[in-house]
Structure 1
Amino acid sequence: MKKKLSIILSGTLILGGLLAGCGGDKAPETDANKTQTEAPAGQTATGELKDGTYFAQGEMNEKSGWQYNVTLKVEGGKITDADWNATNIKAGPDKKTVSESGEYGMKAGGAQAEWHEQAEKAEQFLIEKQDPAAITVNDEGKTDAISGVSISVNEFVELAQKALQAGPTEAGPYKDGAYHAEGEMDANSGWKSTVDLTVVNGNVVAAYFSGVNEAGEDKQDFSKDGKYGMKEKGGAQAEWHEQVQKAQQFFLENQGVGSASFNDEGKTDAISGVSIGVQEYFTLAEKALEGAKK
């Protein structure tokens, strides 16, 4: 009986020691173990917005031909200016400029106000509310929160949120606006090279490398319609417009010629999938931006 009791007591002591050991091995909670909740890049430790300029750009809508962007200015921790705009697939004038000139023609289509007028109301609403989330949208991207606004505002809301989340950005070296340059008519090819650029927040955000012939046809459109026929007629790896668009993208990513060098034919190995001569377009782009320098 004593022997049995002794075994029970020993087992109790061992179990107690194991439990104590488990508790003792638990590491004390440190700051590294705690879940950290960091403030968005555009906010200070107190939750206020950092002063500066905020910018965000959406994706190109191939159907409409517009790519939206939002520029916000913050002073004293508050949004003091908002600019909702869009660049065209062919660069050139921005959407507000096109709307202001009457070319967009929303009122002619039965709208209560032109696009730029409605965009300005959305901008003012954001400045008043100081929060993009205050603009509630339905499944069509439209809102009842802003009187006089019937256009879709979902991209404005999303891009404003994206810009604030990313934090302030430095403006580029150019003056905002549309810029154009063109070369000489090539007697052999029958095309004159053209370049159109759009600058927003000091940076080139839209580029269109193309050309025009005696009939006034656009070279990229000519190629898209299958009239140029580089693949069919010349055995090229891609059509002309597909290759020149890659050169456009390279220009935008590098804000210029970047590391590209060209041979005597104006061709480069720096841009994958581009076998056509594109040097003239980079030269024309540089010429177009001469008047854009601040």
Structure 2
Amino acid sequence: MCVRPLESVIYFPDALGTIAVVTMCGNLLVIFAVFYFRQLHTSTNYLVLSLAMADLLVGTIVLPFGILLFANPCWPQQAVLCRVRGGFDIMSSICSILNLCFISIDRYYAVCMPLSYRLKMNAYVTAIMILITWVISVLCGIVMSVGGQKQETRCAFFQNLNLGIIAAVVAFYIPVIIMFTLYIKIFFVAQKQVRSIHSMQTGMGARKMERKATRTLAIVMGVFVFCWSPFFICVTYLPFNNFKIPLSLMETFKWLGWANSMLNPFIYAFFYSWFRSAFRIILTGKIFKGNYTNAKLL
């Protein structure tokens, strides 16, 4: 008998549609801001741009397909749509965490090795990082979406759970450990810098901006881990629990993970003054009344 795939009453198409729309609008705002304002043309923000593009894929493809699968559980083309959704889902998820990993490396050089930062993290190196991120993500999305047979009669999030466990380790646990280690080092170095330049006014503003940027991106990473860790922990635990975790619970955790793509732009707007100023200029329509490309963002 054909039934809806989501039993829990917390799933409402209107709410899911709202998440999709907010995700699209928020990340389009980040993308436009980085492209438009020259002050945001930095290596860190190019990585943020890449992250926003991955999040935009979630809002434009993954979430709408997820809503369609929810609303039409008996659709004849469900298997095809499920695989397409799965491929883009895996690609965008891996792309997000690889971007965050490279952002943590960028912040490490900015705070811990400021004298060599511009030499080591130039436009060429940033472009290579972004290229590596997307190539790996696309390849993983293709392999994971076509590999193996589905473990559930309903639309599964991984076509092969063994591959899912490998993906969880390689694309989640290892990068999170790397990011956590780097941010711990950054924290201690930043604290040392605060004490060493406490009596110096020269360079204080630049150092303060670097620390604020690092704090903001650390929060982005923390929110990412909070949103995605329940799902990846479940994927890892499934084989040891004889696959007895309810699919509805897995889908709840999956939607929590997808919600991360909606939250990132709000984190930038709340914690990052440069993006906050850029968003204010865009949303108030000032960009239609003059050229603000070279505007000084506070």
User: TM-score, structure 1 length as denominator?
Assistant: 0.25
**Of the two structures, which has the highest relative contact order with CA contacts closer than 8 Å and spacing of 6 or more?**
2
If each structure's strand is expressed as a fraction of its own residues, which one has the higher value?
1
Greater CA radius of gyration, 1 or 2?
1
